[in-house]
Structure 1
Amino acid sequence: MTTQTIAAAAPHSQPGAAKGGQPSSLWLRRAKEYLGLVLVLAGMVVFFGYASKYFLSMKTFNTIANQIPALTVMAVGMTYVMIIGGIDLSVGSVLALCGGVLSLAMVDWELGFMPAAALALAVGFLCGMVNGLITVTWSVPSFIVTLGMLEVARGSAYLATDSRTKYIGGAVSFINDPIVGGISPAFLLAILIVVVGQLVLSYTVFGRHMVGIGTNEEAMRLAGIRTRPTKAAVFALLGLLAAVAAAFQVSRLEAADPNAAAGMELQVIAAVVIGGTSLMGGRGSVVNTFIGVLIISVLEAGLAQIGASDPAKRIITGTVIVIAVIVDMYRNRMIARSAA
C-alpha cells in the first residue's frame, strides 16, 4: 500500500501544495470556510453584545467555556463518524450511562475516581464498539444501529442509577473547578482533544483512511485497504469520547442523572453540520466543528440573555441547522463542479 494509492482513493485528504510552493485550492477552500464560520461567530457576538448589556462580559464567556467541554469532545468523535458516512444517535444516552456507571462505582462501590473513571471509559468504548461492529459486520445502517443503542444505553442508565439522580459531591468537581482566568481544566482538555483530533485527521494514515472511506469506500477496498476495522474504530472512539464527556458533565453537576443529555445528540450533530462536515461523508474538519460548537453555544446564551422563550430558541436553533444543511448541499455541488 503506497501513499499514492491512498491519495487516489481519498483525494480530499491531501492538503498538499501547488507548484511553486503556492497553497493548493484545498487550503484556500479551507481558509474560506474558517473565515466564514469565524465571521458568523463574530457577528453573533456583536449582535448579542448590542442586544444585551450583560453579554460582553468575562462572566458570560467563562460560563460558555465551562459549559461546552462535553459537547465539544463528543462533536470531535461525531465529526469522524460523519466523515466516514455514518451517524450516531446514541451519544447522549451513552453519556448518561457512563455518568451512571461513574456514580455507581464511586457512591455504591466506594471506588476512587480513577478506577471509577476507567470503568466508565470502558463502558463507553464498549457501547461504541458494539455500534461499529454491528454496522460493519451486517452492513446495517448506523442510523438504525445507534437508534437501538440509544434505547439500550438509556435503559441501562436508569438501572445503574436506580432511576434517580445520584449525588457524588465534590469528589469530582476538580475537573470543572475554574483555574486560570476562570477557565476549567475540562475546557483545556477539550481544546487539547480538538487539536489532537485535527492533527490525526489531517496528518495520519488513519485520518486519510477515514476521508477515503467517506469519499469512496469501494475504491479503498479495491486499493487493498481494509475499511471495516477503521469504521469500527471510529464508532468505538466516539463511545470513548462520550464517556469523557460524561466525566465532564458529572463533575460540573456533581451528580449523575439518568435523564442527562436527552436530545444532546441533536446538538452534537448540529455543531458538526454547522462546522461544514459533509452529510454524505468524505469531508470535515475538527476545528470547524469546534467553531460550530461555539456558534450553537453563543446562540443559546445570547437568546437566553435577551429573554427569548424556550419555543423561540428551539425555532431559531432549528432554522440555523436547516440553513447549514442547505449551505452544505450547495458546497457539495460546487466541489463536484470544480472536480469535473
Structure 2
Amino acid sequence: MTVQTTTPKSQTEPPKSAKPIGTRLGFSNYLGLMGALIAMIALFSVLSSHFLSYDTFSTIANQIPDLVVMSVGMTFVLIIAGIDLSVGSVLALGAAVTSVAALQWHWGALPAALLGMAGAALTGCVTGAVTVGWRIPSFIVSLGVLEAARGLAYQMTNSRTAYIGDAFDFLSNPIAFGISPSFLIAIAVMVVAQLVLTRTVFGRYLIGIGTNEEAVRLAGVNPRPYKVIVFALMGLLSGLAALFQISRLEAADPNAGSGIELQVIAAVVIGGTSLMGGRGSVISTFFGVLIISVLAAGLAQIGANEPTKRIITGAVIVVAVVLDTYRSKRRIM
C-alpha cells in the first residue's frame, strides 16, 4: 500500500489572508469617511458663520500633527490585534527626557530631541517585550506602563513644567500658506506608513499576525519580533508627538498627553481599523483624525460646553465601534 504525501508550501511564504490593506477596507470606506467629513463641515458652516474659513482649517492643520503621528502608530498596533493605552504617558516621558537633556545637560536641540524619541521608543519596546515574552494582553501591560511612564515624567521634571524656550519653535512656526513643518512631517509619516503597510512584506506580515497569528507561525515566520517592533514604533511616534507639543508650548509639561490615548484610539477606529486586528489603513486613520478634529473645532465655535462635547464625541466613537462590529460580522458571513 502506498501512502500519498503532499509537499508543504514554502516556509517563508506569507499567509494568503494577508492581502494589501487597501483591498481589505475597500474604496467605499474612503468615500464614506470623506462624505461624513464633508457633511460635518457643511453642518458647522451653517451653524457658525466663522467656521468655513482658511484660518479655521489652518489652525486645525497645525494642531493635529501629534494626533496624526500617534494615530499612525496605533493603526499598526491595532492591526496586529493589540492596543496601547500608555501613549499619552509615553509622550510626556519623551518630553521630560528632552527637557532634561536640553536644560540640565545643555545639549543642543537635535541631540536632545533624538534622546527624547529614543526614550519613548525604548518604553514602547518594553511594552512589546513584556506583552510578547510573557503572553500578557497588551491592554494590561500598557496600563501598567501608563502609570510608570507618567511617574517617571513627574520625577524627571520635579512635577513642574519645564520651560525650554524657542529651541523647537521651527516645528510649529508656519512656513507657507499658514502650514507648519510639523504638519508636513506628520503627512510624510502617514504616507510612508501607508506604503509600508500596502507595499512591503513587513506590512503583509502585520496583517497576517492580526488575522491569524498561528497561520503566520506555521508559515515559518516568527511573529514575536514583529510585534515588539510595532510597539517600539508606537513609542517612537509618541516621542515625535512630544516634540510637536514642545514646539507649540515651548515647554515640557509632565501632564501632557493626559487622555490623548482615547482620542488616538477613537480616530483609528472611526477610520475603520478593526479592533479585532487584521484590517486597517493609515489613510483612513487620517480621515478619522480629521473627523475628530473638525468635530472638536466645530463644537467649540458654536459654543458647546465641555459636557456636551464629551457626550457627542463619545456617541461618535460608539457608533464607529458598532459599525466596525457590523463590518466584522459581514466578513465572517
Q: Letter of the 1:12 partner, please give it.
A: K
The SS at the match of 2:13 is helix
Please show how residues 203-222 of structure 1 align to structure 2 within 5 Å. 203-222=199-218
Please list every run of 5 or more consecutive structure 2 residues that lacks an aligned counterpart in the other structure: 1-8
Q: Which residue of 2 aligns with 1:122?
A: 118
Matched, 1:5 2:1: no
* Cα offsets for 1:87-128 (capped at 9, x unmatched): 000000000011111111111221100110111011011001
* Cα offsets for 1:205-239 (capped at 9, x unmatched): 11000000000000111111110000000000000
Matched, 1:136 2:143: no
Task: Answer yes or no: is the 8 Å Cα contact 2:15–2:216 preserved in 1.
Answer: no
Q: Letter of the 2:317 partner, please give it.
A: I
Task: Answer yes or no: is the 8 Å Cα contact 2:15–2:215 preserved in 1.
Answer: no
TM-score, normalised by the number of residues in structure 2: 0.95
Cα distance in 2 between the residues matched to 1:287 and 1:88: 20
Matched, 1:242 2:249: no
**1:2: Cα distance to partner?**
5.1
Q: Which residue of 2 aligns with 1:20?
A: none
Q: Letter of the 2:308 partner, please give it.
A: A
Task: Answer yes or no: is the 8 Å Cα contact 2:15–2:219 preserved in 1.
Answer: no
Cα distance in 2 between the residues matched to 1:225 and 1:130: 22
Matched, 1:295 2:291: yes
Cα distance in 2 between the residues matched to 1:30 and 1:7: 20
Task: Specify whether residues 114 and 258 from structure 1 end up closer, same or farther in structure 2 by C-alpha distance, changes over 3 A only.
Answer: same
Task: Answer yes or no: is the 8 Å Cα contact 2:74–2:234 preserved in 1.
Answer: yes
Q: Which residue of 1 aligns with 2:66?
A: 70
Cα distance in 2 between the residues matched to 1:269 and 1:70: 13
Cα distance in 1 between the residues matched to 2:330 and 2:167: 52
Please list every run of 5 or more consecutive structure 1 residues that lacks an aligned counterpart in the other structure: 16-25
Please show how residues 181-192 of structure 1 align to structure 2 within 5 Å. 181-192=177-188
CA RMSD, Structure 1 to Structure 2 (Å): 1.4
Cα distance in 2 between the residues matched to 1:220 and 1:331: 23
Task: Specify whether residues 289 and 2 from structure 1 end up closer, same or farther in structure 2 by C-alpha distance, changes over 3 A only.
Answer: farther
**1:13: Cα distance to partner?**
3.1
Matched, 1:170 2:166: yes
Task: Specify whether residues 237 and 14 from structure 1 end up closer, same or farther in structure 2 by C-alpha distance, changes over 3 A only.
Answer: closer
Q: Which residue of 2 aligns with 1:266?
A: 262
Q: Letter of the 2:39 partner, please give it.
A: G
In terms of fraction of residues, the more helix-rich structure is 1
**1:300: Cα distance to partner?**
0.2
The SS at the match of 1:179 is coil
Task: Specify whether residues 14 and 2 from structure 1 end up closer, same or farther in structure 2 by C-alpha distance, changes over 3 A only.
Answer: farther
Q: Which residue of 2 aligns with 1:88?
A: 84
Matched, 1:55 2:51: yes
TM-score, normalised by the number of residues in structure 1: 0.93
Cα distance in 2 between the residues matched to 1:292 and 1:193: 16
